[in-house]
Amino acid sequence: MKPIRLIRSIMVVGGWTLLSRGAGFARDILMAAYLGSGPVAQAFLIAFSLPNMFRRFFAEGAFNMAFVPMFAKKLEGGEDAKGFARDAFSGLAAILLVFSLLGTLAMPWLVWAMASGFAGDERFDLAVVYGRIGFSYILFISLVALLSGVLNAFGRFTEASFVPVLMNLMFIVAMLLADRYGWDMGLTLAWTVPVTGVAQLAFTWWATARVGFAPKPAWPKMTPELKHLFIVAAPAVLAGGVIQINLLVGRQVASFTDGAVAWLSYADRLYQLPLGVVGIAIGTVLLPDLSRRLRAGDAQGGRDSFNRGSEFAMALTIPAAVALVVIAMPLCAVLYQRGAFGADDTANTAMALAAYGLGLPAFMLQKMLQPLYYAREDTKRPFRYAVICMIVNAVIAIGLMPLIGFVAAALATTLSAWVMVWQLWRGSRGMGPAAQFDDRFRARAWRILLAAFGMGAVLFGAMTALGPMLGTAGLRYAGLALLIGAGIVSYFAFGALIGAFRLSDFRSALRRPRG
């Protein structure tokens, strides 16, 4: 098998994620314009979050963290990787089929657990209806996540990264059709969820078939390898459950403020852009790369991958975090404020976005540090760390809610993320030099911070100067483009001047490998 080119693969995943987030923005802009932060929007967002929450619990954030290293090592060792993938697919499908049926029947209780503040008004009934329509999405998207793990282990990141793009495009088309033909917008969105899941699974199945690894449906059987997979995955599944409890606490806090569920969701979409483009892309590529290098005994190669990925992530994520805090208000105003989405919605969304922005580097560092554990099949310590973070998140969110309202949910998410980073970093100290930062990273890290803070000062000045332009309907997109452009130019200028990075680092990442 060809080795994975780390930075180039990160650029591939990040590029497709950027396209997906762009389509996601278009989707949310349409949703904000059609529904604002009203009851239908809040009900749908809660209903759609249910299968997505359990998807991360079962597949993307947990099961795959155990499956990908084992599958990658079997590929590297020439073992029966195809049979292992088939057994894992059948076992996961059987579990999810039963869970989908039970979840659909228990939807009123699930909605109450997610947003008890909805009880007694129309949002609750709408969320139950939408949830029952779309809950089967968990079956399709979880199997998509497993097949994407197979593709990632082969270094085929493009196909797996296209899947979320497909979802957002289908939502956009559905809303445009509903507006044109007068369909009920809430029901249209709800029915689009399972239809999208079927389309995503069909595409991913086709992509894995092209590399000869599409598993055929089979009756699940417990093999020794599958038993080992479940044993390794169990702590990761529990850790994923703890993370979802954190999100659950945030949504409960938000559900008691009318409109807050939508504000947090729209703010989440904005800060997920840099996190997805950089942090998630790096985590997706780094895990199979580290797993294969560990199997091959390449400790130095593993250390280089960890450090160059961390360096690349910091160079792009730190300035993004500064920008989200400094220009939160114009970002939310230009992107969302139209139709049913008013000035108060913009102000509240901007507050949540600034709170999330402070935690962006922490979420990115988690994506870098977690593969150090999962590549070694160590899923127990991340679970213990996640439990501690769950307690921190709940105490902060519930404790600060009477003082600062719904923003407590976003601030608690940020602070608990930093606690998680500290624990992951401290725990990795016993992994030896392969899990430590090298001299090059340490020399550049503080310079990256200085360049980002310099960019923040330029952004603040530019935002003040461009204020009238940002507030004019016909000019605000051009004003935002100028504002972002000023930030990008100033950051790279400061960074190149003080040696935070070399522009050749980015150019080399774009070159195709020879041979």
Got the DSSP string for 206-258? HHHHHTT--PPP------HHHHHHHHHHHHHHHHHHHHHHHHHHHHHHHHTST
- How confident is the model at residue 495, as a pLDDT? 85
- How confident is the model at residue 10, as a pLDDT? 60
**Residues with Cβ < 8 Å from 319, sequence gap 6 or more?**
451, 452, 455, 487, 491
Please answer whether residues 69 and 291 qualify as being in contact, where contact means their C-beta atoms are separated by less than 8 angstroms: yes
Residue 276 identity:
G
Going by C-alpha positions, the residue among 310, 508, 506 that lies closest to residue 421 is 310
Q: Which comes out higher in pLDDT, residue 435 or 101? A: 101
As a whole number of angstroms, the distance between CA 328 and CA 312 comes to 24
Q: What is the pLDDT of residues 406-417, one digit of tens each?
A: 899 899 989 999
Residue 45, pLDDT > 50, answer yes
Q: Two tokens at 51?
A: 């299968």
Going by C-alpha positions, the residue among 377, 213, 229 that lies closest to residue 291 is 377
**pTM for this model (two decimals):** 0.67
Rg (CA), the chain: 22
- How confident is the model at residue 133, as a pLDDT? 95
Classify 184 as helix, strand or coil.
Answer: coil
Q: Two tokens at 256?
A: 């008691």
Q: Which comes out higher in pLDDT, residue 1 or 159? A: 159
Q: Which helix (H) or strand (E) holds 1?
A: none
- How confident is the model at residue 244, as a pLDDT? 64
Residue 80: Cβ within 10 Å count? 12
As a whole number of angstroms, the distance between CA 498 and CA 287 comes to 32
Four-residue CA torsion sign, 307, 310, 312, 314: negative
Q: Two tokens at 504?
A: 């050749």
Q: Which comes out higher in pLDDT, residue 58 or 90? A: 90
* 242 band by pLDDT with thresholds 50, 70 and 90: low
Residue 285, pLDDT > 70, answer no
Going by C-alpha positions, the residue among 82, 80, 71 that lies closest to residue 212 is 82
Provide φ and ψ at 469, rounded to 5°: -70, -40
Please answer whether residues 482 and 466 qualify as being in contact, where contact means their C-beta atoms are separated by less than 8 angstroms: yes
Q: Which helix (H) or strand (E) holds 449?
A: helix 439-465
* 6 band by pLDDT with thresholds 50, 70 and 90: low
Q: Two tokens at 207?
A: 């992509």
- How confident is the model at residue 116, as a pLDDT? 82
The number of residues in the chain equals 515
Please answer whether residues 264 and 410 qualify as being in contact, where contact means their C-beta atoms are separated by less than 8 angstroms: yes
150-164, 263-277, 288-302, 353-367: segment of lowest average pLDDT: 288-302
Q: What is the mean pLDDT of the chain?
A: 81
Percent of the chain with pLDDT over 90: 25
As a whole number of angstroms, the distance between CA 487 and CA 456 comes to 7
Please answer whether residues 407 and 355 qualify as being in contact, where contact means their C-beta atoms are separated by less than 8 angstroms: yes
Residue 12, pLDDT > 80, answer no
**Residues with Cβ < 8 Å from 187, sequence gap 6 or more?**
129, 130, 133
Classify 134 as helix, strand or coil.
Answer: helix
* 62 band by pLDDT with thresholds 50, 70 and 90: low
- How confident is the model at residue 135, as a pLDDT? 92
Q: What is the pLDDT of residues 463-509, one digit of tens each?
A: 999 888 887 777 888 988 999 899 989 998 888 888 777 655 555 54
- How confident is the model at residue 486, as a pLDDT? 92
Please answer whether residues 345 and 43 qualify as being in contact, where contact means their C-beta atoms are separated by less than 8 angstroms: no
Residue 172: Cβ within 10 Å count? 18
Provide φ and ψ at 256, rounded to 5°: -90, 0
As a whole number of angstroms, the distance between CA 144 and CA 148 comes to 6
Going by C-alpha positions, the residue among 18, 338, 12, 348 that lies closest to residue 155 is 12
Q: What is the pLDDT of residues 394-433, one digit of tens each?
A: 899 989 988 888 899 899 989 999 999 999 989 888 887 7
Q: Which helix (H) or strand (E) holds 99?
A: helix 81-105
- How confident is the model at residue 514, as a pLDDT? 42
Q: Which comes out higher in pLDDT, residue 2 or 244? A: 244
Mean pLDDT (whole number) for 3-15: 58
**Residues with Cβ < 8 Å from 481, sequence gap 6 or more?**
none
21-30, 38-47, 284-293: segment of lowest average pLDDT: 284-293
Please answer whether residues 146 and 179 qualify as being in contact, where contact means their C-beta atoms are separated by less than 8 angstroms: no
**Euclidean distance between the first and the last CA atom of the chain, given in angstroms as a whole number:** 14
- How confident is the model at residue 509, as a pLDDT? 47
Residue 199, pLDDT > 90, answer yes
- How confident is the model at residue 419, as a pLDDT? 94
Q: How far is CA 224 from the centre of its chain?
A: 32
Residue 131: Cβ within 10 Å count? 27
283-292, 294-303, 329-338: segment of lowest average pLDDT: 283-292
Percent of the chain with pLDDT over 70: 83
